[in-house]
Structures are given as structure tokens and as C-alpha cells.
Amino acid sequence: MNIAWKEIKKNKVRFMILGSIIFLVSFLTFIISGLSNGLSQDNAALIKDLPDGHIYMNSDAEETYNASKIDENLQSKILGDNKEATAFSIQMGFVTDNSDTQHSVAFVTSTGSNLFENVGKGEVIVDSSLKEEGIKVGDKLTNNQFSGAFIVKGFVDKKTFSHAPVAYINTENYKEIYRVSEMQLLFIPGEDKAQSFSGLQSFSNKKFLNTIPSYSAEQLSLNMITWFLVVISGMLFAIFFYMMNVQKIGLYGILKAIGFKTISLFVMMWYQMIFITLIALGISAALSQGFAVIAPKGLPFDLTTEASIQLTFIFITIGFVGATLSGIQIKKVEPLQAIQQGVV
């Protein structure tokens, strides 16, 4: 017979209050986590979509990719030695369409590689978010640093950098716009360990993301909010179970007197905690998936299944810890005291 379940059934309101608090906090956490991931994608999908590997920039660039210039001889040597490697550059800029509207883009160019789009001179492939701004295949885009015009050859899905749609252009066009002759970065995919080249500094994809100032600041604050909410919910669990346990001291005493094991009382509390948490988290997860569907297009929201499972796991763990800490008083309950106090 399940005494834990019978208590929930008889005291529905009390447990529903706990459940709805857990639901609200976890829902908020799911939303923030989805936004955090969405913003991170929006900020750096270009880099995040790369396979595992290492990115190299000039040591003198002081971890600022914009300031990096890879020596051309070194570049050809590395590209010759590593067949999969590619050199690439990223610069923020603008394109103007035929109705004179400016669109902010991240120009990306690379030496031939299937990791990036390869485009011919005078051509451009842009992120599909520009479609919504009215740009079509065959449109002419101009840039005031560029003598010619780019013909839109096609679109790619979800390729963004620094919250701007990516525009892939040919290396020669790129060099003309930014008046440089060197590439900024080298990427070698698939190595577990970075190679060492004199004058170059290596970064894992993840470490490289953190060199982008807006990226690390944004993620840091969102992660802080997420963890803050997780900690708050842990405290809520502890406080709520503490209050319930205080009310039930007499009951625990009686149950101990008639021969209940202390561990059975803990199991009863854990069962209740897990039951309430799973329901609350189930609703949160379902609603946040629903939110992903109805969220306005401009709002970057991307809650992955892994993130949901991970958060669920964290919530259950922290609920377990909170409830157990507050349950230490159960261990201390003396059956005799409860009998002498006289309850019911």
C-alpha cells in the first residue's frame, strides 16, 4: 500500500501549490535556457556548425580574430599539409539591395572547402533570413567599398554570426572590400589535439566562441540566470518540504512508534517529491516546446531535447537534495515526544 500516494490524494491542494511553484520556476528556466541557446545559435551558428577541430589565429592578434593576419606562406604550407584545412575571414558589413535598403551582414570568405559555401567572383550566397527582408535569387546587392555588384546565387539556412546573417563572397571580392591580402583564420577539422605552428595560437571551437566579446558576455549572463533559477528552485524544495515536515513531526513520531523505519519515511518523502517534480517538469517541457512554436520569428528560441532532459535531471537532483536536507529532522524525531504531545 502506498502511503505517500494516499497522502497526496488526501491533501491535493497542498501538493498542487508545491507543484505549481516548481512548474513556474522550471518553466521560466526552460524558457531562459531556450533563449540562451537560441541567442548563442544566432550569435555564432557559423562557428557552432563547424565539425570539432581547431581554429588558429595570429599570436600577436591577442585573441581578437579581427586583428589576425595569417602569413601567406605559412597558410599555403598548412593547407598543403592538411587536406581538410581551410583559411577563412569574417567581417561585419552592409549590403544594399535594389530598393536602396541596407542590410547588415557578416561577410565570410574562405579558401575552397566544403565547410563553407564556395562562390564565384561577383556572386553571393546569403542566410535565408534575408529572404524575409525581400531579397530573392538573382537580386543585385551592392556595397560602397565594392566596385561591382553581387548577384544572389542562393540561400543557406541558419548561418549567422554576431546576430547578423552570413553573406558568403569570393576571396578576391573580399580582399577588395577590406583592402587586405591575408586571411584571418585557419581551421583544421578533426584533430583531438591542436598542432603547434610558430606565430599561431590555437583555439578549440568553443574557446574561439569565447573570444567573441558579445558572445561570452551574453552567454555568461544567461547562464547565470539559469543557474540562479535552478538554485532558487532547490531552495524552494527545501523550504517547502521543511514546512510540510514540521507539520508532520507528530505523524512521523507515531509512525516510528508503531515500527516504521526512518528510511521508509524518507522514501515516502522522495516518492512525493519525484512525483510532483515530474508532473511539473512534464508540463514545463511541453509548454516550452509549445512556446517555441508560437514564439515570434524574430525571437531566437531554441530549446533542444538534450537541454530539456539535462534540466529535468538537474531539477530532480536538486529537488532530491533539497527535500533530503530538510528531511534530516525526520531522523531526529523521537516517537515518545509525538505520543506525549497528542495529535489527532
Partner 1 sequence: MSLFQIVEVKKTFKNGEVDEQVLKGINLTLKEGEITALVGASGSGKSTILTISAGLQRASEGRLVFEGKNLNEMNQEQIRKIRARQFGFIFQSSHLVPFLTVQDQLMVMLNVSETKLKKHEQKEEVEKLLKIVDMYHRKEAYPPSLSGGEKQRVAIARALIHKPKILFADEPTASLDSRRTKDVMTLIRELTRTMDITTLMVTHDEEMLSYADQIVTMKDGLIQ
Q: Which is nearer to partner 1, 14 or 158 (CB)?
A: 14
State in angstroms the smallest separation of the CB of 206 from partner 1: 51
CB nearer partner 1, residue 8 or residue 274: 8
Q: How far apart are the first and last CA of the chain?
A: 22
Least separation in angstroms between CB 246 and partner 1: 15
- Number of other CB atoms surrounding residue 111 within 10 Å: 17
Q: Is 79 helix (H, G, I), strand (E, B) or coil?
A: helix
DSSP 238-252: HHHHHHHHHHTHHHH
Instruction: Kindly give the pairing relationship between strand 185-189 and strand 53-58.
Output: antiparallel
Q: Please state the closest distance from residue 308 (CB atom) to partner 1, in A.
A: 34
Gap between the Cα atoms of 84 and 155, Å rounded: 24
Closer CB to partner 1, 294 or 344, in the complex:
344
Return the number of the residue (77 or 332) whose C-beta is nearest partner 1: 332
- In the complex, what is the shortest distance from the CB of residue 306 to partner 1, in angstroms, rounded to a whole number? 39
Distance of closest approach, residue 340 Cβ to partner 1, in angstroms: 8
Nearer to partner 1, 259 or 298 (CB): 259
Residues within the interface to partner 1 (CB under 8 A): 1, 3, 6-7, 9-11, 251, 254-261, 335-336, 338-340, 342-344
Q: Could you give the CA distance from residue 312 to residue 38 in angstroms, rounded to a whole number?
A: 19
- Asked if 190 contacts 51 with a C-beta cutoff of 8 angstroms, the reply is yes
Amino acid occupying residue 231: V
